[in-house]
Amino acid sequence: MPNSAKVGDIICTELIAAAKKDRNILALTTDSRGSASLNPFARALPDQLIEIGIAEQNSVTIAAGLAHSGKRPFAFSPAAFLTMRSVEQVKDDVAYSNTNVKLMGISGGNSYSYLGNTHHSLQDLAITRAIPNLEVYMPADQFQARALMHYLVQSEHPAYVRIGKRALADIYTSEAAAFQRPGQGNVIADHGNDIALVAAGETVQVALDTAAILTQQGIRAQVIDLVSIKPLDTDLLNRVADQTHRIVTIEEHSIYGGLGSAVAEALAPRGDTKVDIIGFPDEPAIAGTQDEVFNYYGIDADDIAARTVRQLTH
């Protein structure tokens, strides 16, 4: 069994380590230090944690003001509120004004499960990747979270990071393999050129599991972890398209505007590659645990493998 870890815990540990060395690094929370796994940060560096109260718009703009004055703020809020309630603050005060704010969207996607659609962020990628001058990341395991944090604490660029809630099994065995630089995706399994499965964040494991099932059925798949939704690794996607001409994207996001859309937009001009977008349909998500909901919508390895086999054999 692989090890697993909560990405939020890793981010907190890395942020504490960096903030101890650089007092300009700040964590902003919106009554969310617990769910952001920031209690250790609050205990270790109370003067570098700024509590904004339940006011996500205010947090983003205050972070922009802090960044403009030389601070390196990491603004933590539930991803749904951070990206949707505060979208104008993100667009104007962070991206457009080019302030070095790191927007840390916790409990992303369907993480809040039974708390319902007010708390889901299944449109955050569509929103954030349409904003100029904003990088967008989705770490898939603890190694990638660690490597990404090493980049983020020294980067001067606005970025949004979507972080899930549950512990994620290790995908990688080293930080160097997990994340190198903005706009670089990873081929994490390469069984052949029948099809490529493209994922990011929590669905990377789904893609790996899907590839394993396909292998048993004689279908050789590649698995791509994009990690950097924006900038997008279009070189890698084109290489994979050259080899497979068939791509399945798997995301914890609406099928509109997210990872699948990004891949399709990048590859559409080629005219020779089919992109099958798997994600949440255009409806309020059904209630359930993350696994139950993924299964219901066919965002699970068995369903995706079956769907892929059907498409390849027809």
Partner 1 sequence: MDIQALERKAAEMRKTTWEMIYRAQNGHTGSDLSCADILVALYYQVLHQTAESFSDPDRDRYVQSKGHAVEILYSVLADRGYFPKEDLLTYSQFNSPYIGHPTNHINGIELNTGSLGHGLALSVGIAKAGKLDGRDYHVYTLMGDGEQAEGSVWEAAMAAGNFHLDNLTAIIDHNRLQISGLTVNVMNSEPLADKYRAFGFDVVEIDGNDMRQLVDTLQTRNTPGRPKLILADTIKGKDISFAENRPEWHHKIPTPEQYQQGLAELDEQIGGLVHAK
Interface contacts to partner 1, rule CB under 8 A = 26, 47, 50, 52-53, 55, 57-58, 61-71, 88-89, 92-93, 96-99
Task: Tell me how far, at minimum, the Cβ of 211 lies from partner 1, in Å.
Answer: 45
How many residues can be counted in the chain? 314
Q: Which tokens hold the place of 4?
A: 């697993």
Dihedral of alpha carbons 215, 302, 127, 100, sign: negative
Cβ nearer to partner 1, comparing 23 with 270: 23
Cβ nearer to partner 1, comparing 51 with 242: 51
Cβ nearer to partner 1, comparing 58 with 215: 58
Cβ nearer to partner 1, comparing 3 with 133: 133
Find, among 200, 179, 193, the residue nearest to 263 by Cα.
Answer: 200
DSSP 180-213: -STT--EEEEE--SSEEEEE-TTHHHHHHHHHHH
Task: Tell me how far, at minimum, the Cβ of 107 lies from partner 1, in Å.
Answer: 22
Distance CA 218, CA 303 (A): 17
Task: Tell me how far, at minimum, the Cβ of 99 lies from partner 1, in Å.
Answer: 7
Strands 49-51 and 102-106, by their bridges, are unpaired
Task: Tell me how far, at minimum, the Cβ of 98 lies from partner 1, in Å.
Answer: 7
Cβ-Cβ contacts under 8 Å for 81 (sequence gap 6 or more): 30, 56
169 φ, ψ to 5°?
Answer: -65, 150
Cβ nearer to partner 1, comparing 47 with 156: 47
Cβ-Cβ contacts under 8 Å for 136 (sequence gap 6 or more): 125, 128, 129, 159, 160, 161, 162, 228, 229, 230
Task: Tell me how far, at minimum, the Cβ of 156 lies from partner 1, in Å.
Answer: 15
Task: Tell me how far, at minimum, the Cβ of 136 lies from partner 1, in Å.
Answer: 21
Cβ nearer to partner 1, comparing 64 with 227: 64
Find, among 292, 246, 250, 293, the residue nearest to 270 by Cα.
Answer: 246
Cβ nearer to partner 1, comparing 24 with 215: 24
Task: Tell me how far, at minimum, the Cβ of 23 lies from partner 1, in Å.
Answer: 8
